[in-house]
Structure 1
């Protein structure tokens, strides 16, 4: 169990609660005073902005209430109020989005409406596209870096194949960063949290000439961690990150804009160690043993207060990002022509503790009677290039459209080495020694060795125990090529009724190589390490084409109201299951494309003080790419396949309400049922050993999720103003894995529901030129797990699963 919070923490918690109560009393008195005309005009301008929430989710600038798509928007104020520095922290504010936390950024993923791709394969793509300033990222993990210059985040829910292409079969996260200003401005922001965490961000922006503006943002963040490693008495699951982003905006004429963006980002995170939430039995005498009774009567007693590990090998992730893009917008007559050229690189190195104990690999006894060692090092590099050309009509008539061409290429190389205890629980050493003899002996010597393999091994001094560490390295590469032509349009049938339509043609190609080599002199098998007899040297290629469409109607009800209905298709390209222990017989088969058909009805309303969006939907996915269970060789693993057909349906609500001049409420709720319709039995599994799994849940698809945020502004007569923010986020229970082949869920994979209350109180001075904020995360101290990682005991429990406090200072000029 966790130690109780310090007296300081409890005192700060009491101060936060008292501050909220006092703030309400101060506001009640303040509301009796008359606002000046200038103050009233300022508030009116704020309310007017509700009708002018801008999005670019349709590749043109539009008001949110004009877009016939279910889209959630987080603006810069909401992002700043959340005091969250990445998508992992912000995704909870969008009820239809869930997050799968991996041990490294490359293994983490987003799901939208219960649909997403969770895989270790380097030849598979996400179902949720992440777009930054018009550039599609090749991997979701690239988006889990710190967000430090964001203007808004738009989450488009449901298939977006027409405009965003092949990896948007479940939805799109569209991130837009801030443009530089011609007025010289800047800010410095620093924050400090418990457990020695700090963040710093500095921004400067201004005009370099009459037609050139630029901005520079730099940031630095460091955190010791929140997990105690009892092996060496050090903190883990912390981070050390830094980055910079430069933007140049050139506007030589009224009809030409050129924007250059360059950025780099470095991270060295001793993260993310899996915690032992259920008893593993691997080291019962360890101080990190969970306070748990295990699985009792089919229910997992997860120790959600666990904050200790006992690891002799540190899990660590090193990330290096660099990116450059240039966007050119030229208006000629009634059309705007846009070109976006981008190059991005991402280097990711992971060090993984795979035996999850500090006593493994020391015994001269064979596994599994003695603890085994398993340590991983994996390096991967992605290089992507993309080019988009498009033309946009300028809404000068009843027919309006966006049309364009898109090209995208990504090369990836990955080297992965595993060092693990030798495995001889089923006589595997004999096979290795026979193979070694056949490659090193001949004639009578070979015959003698094969006749007495035990004697041959003893003569060479070869054993196969837990302290005999063997190794193999896999060298993998993939290349994706994609080009597409797309068009999306509207036609006004009347002043109130508009037809919606779109089409995209996609040509996809993916290829791979896989070469795994045993590093052991004798080619022995290890725990999770294939022997030399199973070395690989394989390659493969898949090509597919697709046509995706969209059709719908939009009707303007007047008074800021609109209804729409759409049918849209999504497409996710082919792939292969390319990972360390790749098996050519099973994993060399092409994974066919994933295709989706979605029906959606929506209602939108916007006024000066209230925005309301409602949507009901149903999406059917064929060829769902997911990790299916395969127990064909006696050991159950999950293998990326076309697991079958699934569907997701439900209802969603988003709203923003200026309840008073001082109080703004923002919230959303999603009720979603993402279920299996039909699942395919893996080809390697014996006939008749699979059962119908229709109606069972898809992983990371909570039935209910909602959030409510409140911003309270109090103007005082004492030279400062008060800003109070509070948010509550609830997430229903959810499974972290698919059911097995006979339709049974692992009880360990059921993640309990949870609700999180966050709050902050800020004091601003001199028209918000200076602001000091007191921050409270998880005021009720409710712990939760975001991911079940496997082995019937491993979990990811985030930093936000416990109460902690911080303070932030921001200065503007």
Structure 2
């Protein structure tokens, strides 16, 4: 069964980002080990793979000591992350392209896959990385090889498989701020034909933000999880892999910080040290670590999953079936007024002096089922190919309640006149609840083949057909006994009962050439098409205009790459350009007189650039890796909102797409210093990130200075002591040694930001024992 996908114990690298050894490996060899990837669903040498894919192996992931995927973005130059108040609002961006939306009826531009199973939302990947064998980031459209298509790329995660021999490990990490993480794993044979593994995880952290109102720390977490696997060789021709997992998280995270003056409570001890916007530049208080909130922003996540993969030999071919079900329950509590004194006074809401209360509670559940069938031809033939069928079903239910101050509004005047003594003041709290459900159904046929035209030239051909259906129901009810309107709470006269559905089909393809220039060099050129299905803008306060379907997002991607592999050096240079039509984004709409963002087919965008990555075994004991991405992701044409005033909207051509830094690069080194009875392993990594915008420009073509995120440079290092050939490892860890603070997200309102845990210097220690 040499064409099947199995766990690869060798060094795994990427087509465009080399993942250097980071965990202790005694006496590294001058000659690089064989470099193997599975980006095309086969075990192949990296020099043979005509695709741009970044791969982090388990050693690199463990050495990063990252809590979640957002902590690994620093290691992948072409990837950025938009972190929201909760995981459901967090987004992965590849080469400047990603979907940033609160809608429950919109798919991401970047698809996330775990063990062959497509996740409903990118936010499901923002969990602890406690059992990964490797993480692959495939850039550009990937629909001819993966079951679920996407217009920008795929994050593909593979977890560790059971071992042939009985093994186990315990890994304990402790960091400043009372952060502890514990992982245990046992793996081995159950019989001559069956193997199993069980990994358990527990982590907790008090937090690094202080709430001056309660005196307590926040932005911490309390998480537990397990993953169990069973591999069974049913016969010489049939293998079965069963994976079950469960993960729970209670995070008092992620509160928005006041990085610019809001004016809401200037006397608060959490007021920022900032002059505001000065000469068109935001003076963001990057040292801010205080909030003053009377409601703690928090998130509760519960994940469970079960999948069954069957691999069967049919002659020289392999038939693969992956059947899976997943559930995700997410509850978010959000402080929406961002002060502790909002809604306290018996005065009418005046947005310049008297501030309002706004508290949100959102409860959402996802249930999904997927079935993939794939057949793979033998490797090494003149024409090798794969073909598959894919079915995916997702049903989502959401309830969202908002409690907010009553708002002075003409719609409230008749209610107050009809009820003498009734008031509408800041301390009069009104509420509304929206209940809405969404259903996605996706069917696809896909395939890709390589035709050997000569000993050195291959033709690449791929094709995909997709059928999408999306539907929703939405009902919002004002809960106030009098039907009064509040801040963000629409009156009883604006109760809704919406529903709609849409469907769309798409045919996309891929064509390319691969040329083995020499024994050590390979050149490839590809053209591929991407597709992301239709959507609706479903959210708490949706209006009649949001019930119309949003068309599919399509992309045309061109890529030219060169790969060089010698005994001690791997290097890859990639040039790319992608044009996207029907870009699904939150476009600004001020046609009602109040500026809001509304998910639409906002227009056309493009991204182009160059990526260079290398891995160099400089000496027997020194390995150096690095990479950079120079990306120009910009707006080509944006649609003006309906009913926009004449002259109030431009096409915004040439302006940046959010979360697309022009330049990002990394450099890391790993040095093994042999001692008489143990090894010392020195590891260091440096990351540079250019400034980036986190919001689209306004309709008039101007960029909000508050939405510009400053660039930063981060240096991490560790010193490990490895005993008994790596069975016992003690590691001293230093994160962000330069103590450089930065923000990852501008959340809105001209003052709200997300500042991550890694935006300050801290230290830790870990101990790992294997048996």
- Which range, TM-score by smaller chain? over 0.9
- Does residue 394 (structure 1) correspond to residue 378 (structure 2)? The answer is yes
1:380 is the counterpart of 2:339 = no
- The whole-number CA distance in structure 1 between the counterparts of 2:448 and 2:260 is 51
Match of 2:300 in 1: 318
* TM-superposition CA deviations, 1:142-191 (whole Å, max 9, x none): 10011111111111111112223555210111111111012000100000
Rounded to whole Å, the distance in 2 between the matches of 1:679 and 1:727 is 39
Contact 2:204 2:223 in 1 (8 A): yes
Within the candidate set 552, 567, 571, 1:593 is matched to 552
Residue of structure 1 equivalent to 2:349: 367
Within 2, Cα distance between the matches of 1:344 and 1:493? 43
CA distance, structure 2, for counterparts of residue 742 and residue 537 of structure 1: 34
Q: Deviations over 1:545-601 (max 9, x none)?
A: 0001000000012222111000000000000000000001x2111110000001100
Aligned residue number for residue 690 of structure 1: 649
C-alpha distance in structure 2 between counterparts of 1:314 and 1:47, whole Å = 54
Q: How far apart, CA to CA, are the structure 1 residues paired with 2:147 and 2:259?
A: 40
Determine whether 1:464 maps to 2:424.
Answer: yes
Match of residue 60, structure 1, among 30, 42, 45:
42
**Which residue of structure 1 aligns with residue 465 of structure 2?**
505
Whole-angstrom distance in 2 between the partners of 1:597 and 1:328: 34
> Could you tell me how far apart the structure 2 residues matched to 1:509 and 1:733 are?
38
* Residues 492/167 of structure 1: CA separation in 2 closer, same or farther (3 Å cut): closer
Separation of aligned partners in 2, 1:260 and 1:61: 21
Length-normalised TM-score, structure 2: 0.95
Quote the Cα distance in structure 2 between the aligned partners of 1:167 and 1:236.
38
| C-alpha distance in structure 1 between counterparts of 2:71 and 2:311, whole Å | 33
Alignment of 1:485-500 (within 5 A): 485-500=445-460
Once the two structures are TM-superposed, the CA of residue 607 in structure 1 deviates from its matched residue by 2.8
Q: Identify the structure with the greater helix proportion.
A: 1
1:264 aligns to 2:246 (yes or no): yes
- The equivalent residue for 2:5 is none
Equivalent residue, structure 2, for 1:447:
none
User: Equivalents in 2 of 1:167, 1:119: separation in Å?
Assistant: 19
Cα distance between partner residues in 2 of 1:65 and 1:94? 19
Q: Once the two structures are superposed, what CA deviation does each residue of 1:310-359 show, in whole Å capped at 9, x if it has no partner?
A: 00000000000000001111112221000000100000000000000000
1:799 Cα deviation from its structure 2 partner: 0.5
Question: Is the CA contact (8 Å cut-off) linking 1:166 and 1:573 kept in structure 2?
Answer: no
| Equivalent residue, structure 2, for 1:514 | 474
Of 196-205 and 390-399, deviating more is 390-399
Separation in 2 of the partners of 1:777 and 1:325? 36
Residue number in structure 2 paired with 1:665: 624
Contact 1:125 1:167 in 2 (8 A): no
Residue 126 of structure 1 contacts residue 167 of structure 1 at CA under 8 Å; is this kept in 2? no
Of 517, 520, 540, the match for 1:557:
517
1:723 matched residue in structure 2: 681
- SS of the residue 2:190 aligns to: strand
Q: TM-score, normalized by length of structure 1?
A: 0.90
What's the counterpart of residue 788 of structure 1? Answer: 746
- Secondary structure of 1:478 counterpart: strand
- Which of the residues 598, 602, 611 maps onto 2:561? 602
Q: Work out the number of aligned pairs and report it.
A: 745
> What CA distance in whole angstroms lies between the structure 1 residues aligned with 2:48 and 2:404?
58
Deviations along 1:269-317, whole A, 9 cap, x unmatched? 0000000000000001100000000001111000000000000000000
Residue 419 of structure 2: SS of its match in structure 1?
Answer: helix
Is 1:91–2:73 an aligned residue pair? Answer: yes
**How far has the Cα of 1:609 moved from its partner?**
2.1
Query: Partner residue of 2:7?
Result: none
CA deviations on 1:372-400 (whole Å, 9 max, x unpaired) are 00000000000010000010001242011
State the Cα distance separating 1:61 from its structure 2 match.
Answer: 2.3
User: Per-residue deviation at 1:686?
Assistant: 2.6
Could you tell me how far 1:206 is from its partner in structure 2? 0.4
Deviating above 6 A after TM superposition, structure 1's stretches of 4 or more consecutive aligned residues are none
Q: Tell me the CA shift for residue 254 of structure 1.
A: 3.4
Aligned to 2:8: none
- Residue in 2 aligned with 1:776? 734
Contact 1:334 1:396 in 2 (8 A): no
- Kindly state the Cα deviation for residue 611 of structure 1 after the two structures are TM-superposed: 1.3
- Alignment of 1:122 with 2:84, yes or no, is no
Question: Alignment partner for residue 291 of structure 1, among 250, 256, 273?
Answer: 273
* Partner residue of 1:634 out of 571, 583, 593: 593
1:178 & 1:47 partners in 2: Cα distance? 26
Aligned partners of 2:226 and 2:245 also within 8 Å: yes
Which of 397, 400, 410 pairs up with 1:416? 400
Q: Partner residue of 2:709?
A: 751
**Aligned pair partner of 1:331 in 303, 307, 313:** 313
- Give the CA deviation at 1:47: 3.8
Q: 1:379, 1:64 → 2: CA distance?
A: 44
Whether the 8 Å contact between 1:166 and 1:571 is mirrored in structure 2 is no
Cα pair 1:237 1:269 within 8 Å, conserved: yes
1:643 alignment partner in structure 2: 602
Secondary structure of the structure 2 residue equivalent to 1:77: helix
CA distance in 2: counterparts of 1:178 and 1:610, whole angstroms: 27
Q: What secondary structure does 1:696 align onto? A: coil
Question: C-alpha separation between the residues in 2 aligned to 1:65 and 1:151?
Answer: 21
Asked if residue 476 in structure 1 is aligned to residue 417 in structure 2, the reply is no
* Equivalent residue for 2:191, pick from 209, 215, 218: 209
Q: CA deviation digits over 1:714-760, x for unaligned, max 9? A: 1101x221111100011100001000001011000000000100000
How many angstroms does 1:48 deviate by? Answer: 4.3
In structure 2, the CA distance between the partners of 1:284 and 1:749, relative to structure 1 (3 Å rule), is same
What is the rounded CA distance, in whole Å, between the counterparts of 2:412 and 2:623 in structure 1?
A: 69
Look up the SS of the partner of 2:339 in the other structure. Answer: coil
Structure 2 residues not aligned, in runs of 5+: 1-24
Tell me the SS of whatever aligns to 1:579. coil
Cα distance in 2 for residues equivalent to 1:376 and 1:277:
22
Is residue 680 from structure 1 mapped to residue 624 from structure 2 by the alignment? no
Equivalence for 2:145: 163
1:370: Cα distance to partner?
Answer: 1.1
Larger radius of gyration: 1
- 1:437 matched to which residue of 2? none
1:427 aligns with 2:410: yes
3-state secondary structure, aligned to 1:89: helix
